[in-house]
Structure 1
Amino acid sequence: MSRFDLNRYKSFLHQLVAEPSVSCAVPSWDMSNQKVIERLANWLTEHGFECQIMPVPDHPGKFNLLASIGAGDGGLLFAGHSDTVPYDEHLWQTDPLTLSEKDGRLYGLGATDMKGFFPAVLEAVKDLDAGKLKQPVMVLATADEESSMSGARALAAAGGLKARYAVVGEPTKMTPIHMHKGILMEAVRVKGAAGHSSNPALGNSALEAMHEVMGELIRYRQDLQQRHQNPGFAVSIPTLNLGCIHGGDGANRICGECELHFDLRSIPGMHNDQLREQISGLLTPIAERRQLDIVFSTLFEGVDPFHQDKNSELIRTCERLTGQEATSVAFATEAPFFRDLGLQTVVMGPGSIDQAHQSNEYIDINQLEPAVETLRRMIEHFCMEETPPA
């Protein structure tokens, strides 16, 4: 295979950065990813891939791309998301939608998280001889990872992803990641009754009920942290953060309504649906005892924790190719969706998560060639050699 072509990489990334594809729960920011998907599909088609552009159900303007080359019942999937977070151009020193280079860095919105992964994949497959493939090579680009993860959820719901190994190219400096925490974000709304503060019988305080709710959540957090620990994480226990609270409208009125938002970051072995059921079970007795309504709702559907056995073929191969031991991260990715579909999965890509979600985002040029070489060698190992079943 030919050497890494930095100018070619920069050309691809320049075009991807120039196509804004913000996904956001705020409608005024949310936009389509169609142009990014179409560019990727055109490039991959030129490399001999068969491409499917799939609309995401119930999300107009949002699309997934699945491209493949070669045949077989296994294969290697390179997966990434096509969207970015919102941006404030006034906080950027350069145009966020124009790729710029300075001091060995490429600056632009999504340069690290994670449009920069796709040009690395394109470099890795540019001289690929389909006739030498014993298993297929696939490339997946998803929608809305930064907001609802609707693209990955749609793919998981459809099933039938015929691959054996998945590389989720989030920025990890090419360190293999074999586990990360899960996350859920929830709201608790207490609906009491307002009244004059001179007589408590005239109302039913939502604030006082919320005080009891918060106490119950703190006790629940303590219980979780006693029962669940994983020394593989920097913070070895699950966390529950009481993030914000709003309620009441005056010191001389009984509070009629109060709302609390919190997040819970779980560790492998815990499941979000079970956690929600447990929390709901804690709130029901409070509502009954105080004779008011407590509504428990989801702010973000959430992501379950991710864990891939360190002794699996994929993780051992990534450790060998990179010379780095697999470890954990605190941020969540789309990896659990691929793992649930039966794929051995690793999170690994160029760039640093420290640059993600902030102004003046960049990717270090010196990380790119080693990353491309690792991806090429993964293709050789998993798709050109005889490998044991997963």
Structure 2
Amino acid sequence: MSHMNFMEMYRALIAAPSISATVPSLDMSNREVINLLATWCESLGFTIEITELESSPGKYNLAAKLGDGDGGLMLAGHTDTVPFDDSRWQFDPFKLSEQDNKLFGLGSIDMKGFFAFVINALQEIDAEIGIKNIKQPITLLATADEETTMSGAIEIAKQNKLRPSRCIIGEPTDMVPVYTHKGHMSTAIRITGKAGHSSDPDAGLNAIEVMHLVIAQLLKLKEDIKNKYSFPDFKIPYPTLNLGHIHGGDNANRICGCCELHIDMRPIPGISIAELQAMLLQAVAPINDKYPNAVAVIDLHDPIPAFSGSTDSSLVKLAEKLSGEKAQAVNYCTEAPFLQQLGCETIVMGPGSIQQAHQPDEFLAMEKIKPSQEIIKQLIFQSCFE
């Protein structure tokens, strides 16, 4: 491959659809993006390993490495995007469009565009000093299905074949280093009652009435975890519990036989997924005692633990120095808790604003390109070439 400029790479990445979705009709393979990255990395002398996910056939991870042995820097990102609502986009989501000093496109900041920044930095280093003059290995990791199951990162962690010393996950943070973030649990509370005619309430068990008791317990749990746990670096310093969706019953003159509530919980460092799950089960236990087997607690997806880093790590210090920004804690979650299991210092730091993620007309502000390019280049250079 001949040298590709930044905009050409950006355009090619946006033009390769790679939506991951829980709805099968919207779900796509990410192979086209993986093939692009493999070609670009091979041209720079990287060795390439492409693996199909065991849990999601047709989805792929890419690990491209330059240099021998363990250690060095891993630059990681996901290749998939969220679905989009065509009626809310003014631009073609799969065509990089420039207007008002912005680059529009699906994945422009969340987060296929990050790979263009990385390859551009590697090409510049190669032109200046020769990329083969590295002192510590460089790994580019591209994962699948972050937007749905995080299966790509989970499988990388389980395989445990990669052993970098440092990892930068290029989610959009406006190049502010993120050293910790909350986790994510989505849980269904399903009440199974007994349907019947509304004229004889005692002949059935009204699932909505039972859910009323459950909600009272959940609101108590919400206050308990708010008052018991705190991590002051977060804007919202406590674990949160949100009642997000509820549905029950089918007609006004029938006793409701089934009611389901979906809740969202956001653990912070210091409280594990297992602890929150136990608290949730404990909260509904009295109701199950009163109405045996009426309350079921079901994970809607594999829970994502909180990511806990340290502001004292050498990678955080380097990122703060280069960006001029103090490391932050954020409420959203990423692949960091899984990739951190590889034993590396880990931060989340990438171009673009999180405010644009999952939004119609997603864009990268063009005035941020050059500063972001320079920071990424220096992160690579000072980690692997000095």
Q: What is the match of residue 8 of structure 1?
A: 5
Q: What is the match of residue 260 of structure 2?
A: 259
TM-score after normalising by structure 2: 0.95
Runs of 4+ deviating beyond 6 Å: none
1:25 to 22, 25, 35: 22
Q: 1:310-340 CA distances to partner (integer Å, 9 max, x unpaired)?
A: 0110101100111111112211111111222
Q: What is the match of residue 49 of structure 2?
A: 52
Return the alpha-carbon distance in structure 1 between the equivalents of residues 118 and 330 of structure 2.
23
1:326 partner amino acid: A
Q: What is the match of residue 285 of structure 2?
A: 284
Shift of 1:60: 1.3
Shift of 1:378: 1.6
Q: 1:145-193 CA distances to partner (integer Å, 9 max, x unpaired)?
A: 1111110111111113210100000011100111111110000111110
Q: What is the match of residue 379 of structure 2?
A: 378
Q: Does 1:97 align with 2:89?
A: no
1:92 partner amino acid: W
1:179 partner amino acid: T
CA contact (8 A) 1:77 1:163 kept: yes
Return the alpha-carbon distance in structure 1 between the equivalents of residues 285 and 29 of structure 2.
40
2:372 partner amino acid: A
CA contact (8 A) 2:13 2:112 kept: yes
Deviates more, 1:178-187 or 1:276-285: 276-285
Secondary structure of the corresponding residue to residue 260 of structure 2: strand
Shift of 1:252: 2.3
2:22 partner amino acid: A
Return the alpha-carbon distance in structure 2 between the equivalents of residues 272 and 291 of structure 1.
26
5+ residue gaps in structure 1?
386-390
Q: What is the match of residue 343 of structure 2?
A: 342
Return the alpha-carbon distance in structure 2 between the equivalents of residues 120 and 130 of structure 1.
16
Q: 1:268-300 CA distances to partner (integer Å, 9 max, x unpaired)?
A: 112112211221233233112123422111112
Secondary structure of the corresponding residue to residue 26 of structure 2: coil
Q: How does 1:126-141 map to 2 (within 5 A)?
A: 126=123, 127-128=125-126, 129-141=130-142
Shift of 1:20: 0.5
Deviates more, 1:187-196 or 1:243-252: 243-252
Secondary structure of the corresponding residue to residue 5 of structure 2: helix
CA contact (8 A) 1:69 1:136 kept: yes
Return the alpha-carbon distance in structure 1 between the equivalents of residues 85 and 259 of structure 2.
32
Q: What is the match of residue 40 of structure 1?
A: 37
Shift of 1:204: 1.2
Q: What is the match of residue 144 of structure 2?
A: 143
1:219 partner amino acid: K
Return the alpha-carbon distance in structure 2 between the equivalents of residues 292 and 81 of structure 1.
40
Secondary structure of the corresponding residue to residue 301 of structure 1: coil
Aligned residues: 380
CA contact (8 A) 1:204 1:255 kept: yes
2:35 partner amino acid: E
Return the alpha-carbon distance in structure 2 between the equivalents of residues 290 and 110 of structure 1.
48
Q: How does 1:155-174 map to 2 (within 5 A)?
A: 155-174=156-175
1:231 partner amino acid: P
TM-score after normalising by structure 1: 0.94
5+ residue gaps in structure 2?
none
Q: What is the match of residue 65 of structure 1?
A: 62
1:102 partner amino acid: Q
Shift of 1:130: 4.1
Secondary structure of the corresponding residue to residue 63 of structure 2: strand
2:252 partner amino acid: A
1:66 partner amino acid: A
Shift of 1:212: 1.0
1:40 partner amino acid: L
Q: How does 1:287-302 map to 2 (within 5 A)?
A: 287-302=288-303
Return the alpha-carbon distance in structure 1 between the equivalents of residues 380 and 69 of structure 2.
14
Deviates more, 1:244-253 or 1:327-336: 244-253
Q: 1:244-265 CA distances to partner (integer Å, 9 max, x unpaired)?
A: 1111122222111110000001
Q: How does 1:181-260 map to 2 (within 5 A)?
A: 181-260=182-261
